[in-house]
Amino acid sequence: MNSAVWSRITAAGTHAARWPWWLQVGGLYLAARLVSACIFMAAALQQGVNPWFPAKPDYWNFINIWDARWYGEALRNGYPTELPTDDAGNVQENAWAFYPLFPLLGRSLTGLTGIAPAASLTVIAMLSGLAASLVVYCLFRLKATHRTAHWGALFFSTFPVAAVLQVPYAESLNLLLLAGALLLVVRRRYLGAIPVVLLMCLSRPTGVPFAAMAGVLFLYHVYPHLVARFRARPAGDVQHGQPGHYGTPAGERHSPRELWSLAGLAAASGVGALLWPAIAWVLTGDLQAYTKTETVWRGHDLVPFKPWFDTGVQLFGPVLGLLAPFVFVAVFVLLMMSRPVAALGTELRLWCVCYVGYLLVFLHPQTSTFRMLLPLFPLALSAALVSRSRAYRGTVIIMFFLLQIVWVVWLWAWAQLPGGGDYPP
């Protein structure tokens, strides 16, 4: 019996392998979302008293909590022109912390179809996640074979926090735009990436690290040209000289036109990163409207790097806690230097470095940090490159789904803490 079942599974896998790549990747993404939906429904049956609905809610109510309520607020009522404050004048939680592209698309879909705002946001999140998985595969395919890129896309679809891709959060939309922008950058279509990046900057706060990546990438590629100019070498020596002698390898060298396009992308990314805070300033009259709102959830003003040391001390004590951020950075550097990560190429590795640098500077580490690691999705391809063993890759998928259960039950489901409130997902 077991042999017959295994034979059928093998035959089904062989048949599916002949499908078009987009059907393979999309089908597995939808299957992963179905598993995540089952995890959500099982957790909902255990959900007790909470701030939003009666105990044991249905699936649709259960996924429309936490930040989904804020996106729904932005969809229905827009953004306040006056920041709400308490009696002491402190800014209170409000919609300005949530970027506008996702609720704007939801409002458009609701206006066109008449469906409920929560349903509109859920549909957009699901379709964006599906599209993101296809773009991620195309990006990975530039660096690996079909099979490995396929496994990398499957890792992306089953990440421990991938369940968030089917709830009314902006993560799936942001990842679609981020993956599209990175795909264009790797293909050196820098000017074509500009509108994608500007939209990305209005979906979630990923504009700053992207601008940093584009800027550093420009300096990396312009270096051989500057060296040649100062050494009075002919331009031909720069473009066709020995690999690596003046910086970038010959295959990565850029023409002047490509350099100007990359510089334009870096500049546009910088503008895009400031766009939403500037809109908040214009509409509220408060220059710090966005940052004041964003830091409400922290409970204190933004001080670069300091929250990592505070959290380290809280978790590991006064000595080890101060060392913990340095250990984290050292481990990350070693990871970036490993062979599977090096196979990602300059652009994707640089994106990972800039994004982690951004988190170190601006992030207040907490339970939401797990969700904020999703933009490091290029590392999914590195994980697939570690080994071609089906046993290894299958074990990773199983581990990811088990960790999804942990994430949903621990963080998505509401369980009031002794001091009130609960850890956010």
Which residues, including other chains, have CB under 8 Å from residue 384's CB and lie 6 or more apart?
144, 148, 149, 151, 152, 155, 393
Distances (CA, A) of 129 to 125, 132, 188, 236: 6, 5, 25, 45
* Calpha distance 237→269 (Å, rounded): 31
Residue 94 covered by a domain: yes
58 vs 240 pLDDT, higher one: 58
* Calpha distance 424→413 (Å, rounded): 9
| Segment 127-183, tens digit of pLDDT | 999 999 999 999 999 999 999 999 999 999 999 999 999 999 999 999 999 999 999
Structure-token pair, residue 332: 């990350």
Q: Above 80 in pLDDT, residue 210?
A: yes
Residue 156 covered by a domain: yes
Task: Among 124-128, 234-238, 342-346, 365-369, name the one with the lowest average pLDDT.
Answer: 234-238
Taking the complete model, does pTM exceed 0.85, yes or no?
yes
Residue 163 covered by a domain: yes
Residue 12 covered by a domain: no
Over residues 380-405, mean pLDDT: 97
248 vs 133 pLDDT, higher one: 133
Task: Name the residue with tokens 């250990």.
Answer: 327
Number of domains in the chain: 1
CB count, 10 Å around CB of 239?
15
Over residues 353-382, mean pLDDT: 96
Residue 8 covered by a domain: no
Domain that holds residue 311: 21-412
Residue 11 covered by a domain: no
Residue 16 covered by a domain: no
* Calpha distance 17→31 (Å, rounded): 16
Res 236: pLDDT: 47
Residue 108 covered by a domain: yes
Task: Among 10-14, 145-149, 219-223, 368-372, name the one with the lowest average pLDDT.
Answer: 10-14
* Calpha distance 155→178 (Å, rounded): 17
